[in-house]
Structure 1
Amino acid sequence: MTDTSTPVVALDTSALMAPVEANIRLFEELDRLLGTYEAVVPAAVRSELDGLASGAGTAATAASVGADLAGRARTVGVDDADVEDTDAADDDTYAADDDTYADDALVALAVTGRVDFVVTNDRPLTERVLDADTPVICLRGRNTLAITEP
C-alpha cells in the first residue's frame, strides 16, 4: 500500500471502457466507494486505448470515451524492470503486445505498492492483482462497482 492518506487507484482499459460497454458512471462510482482518491493510468493503458479507438464499431467508441476519461487521471510510467518482476516473462501466455503490457504494468504497480486499488473488469488481471495482495474494484450487478479484497 502507498503511504499517503489518499488512496491511489489505477484504472485498466476495461474500466475506462465500462461507461459505454456497461453503462456505468465510473468516477461517480469511485467517489461513492472511496470518497477521496487519486486516479492513475499507466501509459501502456493509454496506448492500448488509442489503438482500440482507431478501429471501428462499439469497441472503438468505448475506447475513445475511455481515452477521454483517462484524461481525468494522472499518467504513470512503469519501468520494464518492474514489469519483469511480475513474472510475466515466465508465463506461457506472455506476448509483447499492448494488451499484455498494460496488464503487466498494472500488476507491477500493485506488486511495488504504488497503488492501493486496481479498477478492472478483466478476470485474469483481477486474479493477478489479488495474488499481489492488492484489492480490486470491479463491476458488481448491472452498473455498480464493488471492492474485492485479496
Structure 2
Amino acid sequence: MSERVAVDANALMMPVEVGVRVFDELDRVCGDYDAVVPDVVRAELATLSDGAGEEATAASVGADLAARCDTQETDGQYADDALVALAESGAVDAVCTNDGPLRERVLAAGVPVIHLRGRNQLTRTQP
C-alpha cells in the first residue's frame, strides 16, 4: 500500500526556486506514494502565478506540477492550516514542505516531514 504525501506550494515551486526535481526526489525518498495537494494550495499557486517575476514563474510551474497530484478538499482557508489538519486527521502519511514553521507544526502533530536538505535533495524527518 502506498503512502499519501501532501505537497505544499513551496515544494511544488522548488524546481524553479532551487532547482530540485521534486517528484524525482519524492520517488527516491518515498518509493511508492500518492501525492495529494489541498485545494487551498492550488488556489494559492493560482494567485501567486498571476504576478510577475520569478515567484510567479515558480508558482506557474508549481500549478502545472500540482495537476499530477490528487486534489484533497479541505475546510481551511489557509494552506498551512489545511496541511496540519490533514496530518492531524491521519488523512496523509507525510507532508512535503520547506516552510520551517509549518514543518514544526506537522512534526508536532506526529507526522513525518519531507523537506530540502542541502542544495538539491529531499530528506524525511520523523516526529
SS in 2 for 1:78: coil
The alignment status of 1:124 with 2:120, answered yes or no, reads no
Q: Which runs of 4+ in 1 moved over 2 A?
A: none
Which of these two proteins has the greater Rg computed from alpha carbons?
1
Separation in 2, partners of 1:129, 1:64: 26
Cα drift, residue 34 of structure 1 = 1.1
1:60 maps to a residue whose letter is A
State the match for 1:92 in structure 2.
Answer: none
Gaps of 5+ in 2: none
SS in 2 for 1:51: helix
Separation in 2, partners of 1:8, 1:75: 12
1:41-80 alignment, distance < 5 Å: 41-80=37-76
State the match for 2:80 in structure 1.
Answer: 103
Separation in 2, partners of 1:79, 1:138: 25
SS in 2 for 1:134: coil
2:66 maps to a residue whose letter is A
TM-score by length of 1: 0.83
Structure with the bigger percentage of strand: 2
Cα drift, residue 63 of structure 1 = 0.1
SS in 1 for 2:124: strand
SS in 1 for 2:19: coil
Separation in 2, partners of 1:29, 1:139: 10
**Aligned positions, number:** 127
Separation in 2, partners of 1:138, 1:79: 25
SS in 2 for 1:142: coil
SS in 2 for 1:38: strand
1:124 maps to a residue whose letter is P
Separation in 1, partners of 2:29, 2:12: 17
1:1-150 alignment, distance < 5 Å: 5-80=1-76, 101-150=78-127
Gaps of 5+ in 1: 81-97
C-alpha RMSD of matched pairs (Å): 0.8
SS in 2 for 1:8: strand
